[in-house]
Amino acid sequence: MSKPRSTTPQGDPPPSVLSLYPPARTTKPRTPPPPPGIPGRQGSPDDFPLKFCTVCANNQNRSMEAHLVLSQAGFPVISFGTGSAVRLPGPSIDKPNIYAFNATSYDEMYTELKARDIRLYSANGLLSMLDRNRKIKKSPERWQDWNVGLPRVGAGPVEKRGGGEKTYSDEIESGIVDVIITCEERCWDAVVDDLISRGSPLNRLVHVINIDIKDNHEEAAVGGKGILELAKMLTAAAKEEKDKAADEARDFDRSSVDGRVPEILAEWQERHPTLPVLWTASYF
């Protein structure tokens, strides 16, 4: 599948409630998807439901909204940011609040900003966002620091929408995921570049999908719903292929699922024309 052309601007993103980022960097040429039949694509019934990872720049707004809705729907999910530091809006555009990834918790950010200016940070939605985030996991995490393959279990309970049984937001027992969904093209570039630089030590295929979502609370909510729909479509296809293999008394081959990803993305894009999508296959 040829990648749909993205409308993401290549310069600095426009100012928004959560868009105080440094200039976009120049990236290495993108590699094409690997051919069919490559090693490392075998799956098993234990691979279902599919495991997801959501990524944005700060691991605060877009990736955490998607993390939440996927968690509430019962999907194993983790999330990251790709920036050098966490940047949140401050009293002016040239005075952002800057925090370290993996070190400063959402709760600490919430408490500090509430004490600084409760009126400002309530009005721009930061306090409500941080309050949501601290109920999902401890702190924002940086993609480049992820120890792939290290089991991650039980960051904390997340109530499903409408109440009822709780699910866990961070149950990735195998320490790897099947699908990475980024929320901005430069984050997609950073993830793909980082995967290439790691050298594929696990020889495990992963789909890297970018869904271009504007960095504000309203668009994050819309994008989160779109990501959930895509997760359901991908998982439904995976289960169909698994059941087909069982009916035909043969071993399940994950490549049958991988081969359907382009058509699923094309169908999803028709339903969501305002959310430009990019896709490639890479390796852990």
Asked if 141 and 72 touch (Cβ cutoff 8 Å), the reply is no
List, in order of start, the domains of the chain with CATH numbers: 46-146+155-283 (3.40.50.2300)
Distance, in Å, from the CA atom of 238 to the CA atom of 242, rounded to the nearest integer, reads 6
Residue 77 token pair = 């999910």
Q: b/e map of 113-126 (b: 16 or more CB within 10 Å)? A: beeeeeeebeebbb
Residue 274 token pair = 């305002």
Strand extents, DSSP E, 31-95 = 52-56, 77-81, 86-88
Distance, in Å, from the CA atom of 265 to the CA atom of 247, rounded to the nearest integer, reads 26
Chain CA centroid to CA 85, Å: 17
Q: b/e map of 185-200 (b: 16 or more CB within 10 Å)? A: bbbbbbbbbebeeeee
Distance, in Å, from the CA atom of 123 to the CA atom of 126, rounded to the nearest integer, reads 8
Please write the tens of the pLDDT for every residue from 79-92: 999 999 999 999 99
| pLDDT tens across the length of the chain (284 residues) | 444 444 333 333 333 333 333 333 333 434 444 333 333 333 333 446 789 999 999 999 999 999 999 999 989 999 999 999 999 999 999 999 999 999 999 999 999 999 999 999 999 999 999 999 999 999 999 999 999 988 876 544 444 444 444 444 455 667 899 999 999 999 999 999 999 999 999 999 999 999 999 999 999 999 999 999 999 999 999 888 888 877 777 776 777 788 999 999 999 999 999 999 999 999 99
What is the per-residue pLDDT for 20? 32
Give the position of tokens 């790709």: 82
Cβ contacts of residue 257 below 8 Å, gap of 6+? 43, 234, 237, 238, 241
- Indicate the length of the chain as a whole number: 284
> What are φ and ψ of residue 180, in 5° steps?
-110, 125
Residue 125 token pair = 């939605």
Asked if 140 and 100 touch (Cβ cutoff 8 Å), the reply is no
What is the per-residue pLDDT for 153? 67
**Helices 217-247 and 261-271, axial angle in degrees (round to 10):** 140
Chain CA centroid to CA 22, Å: 20
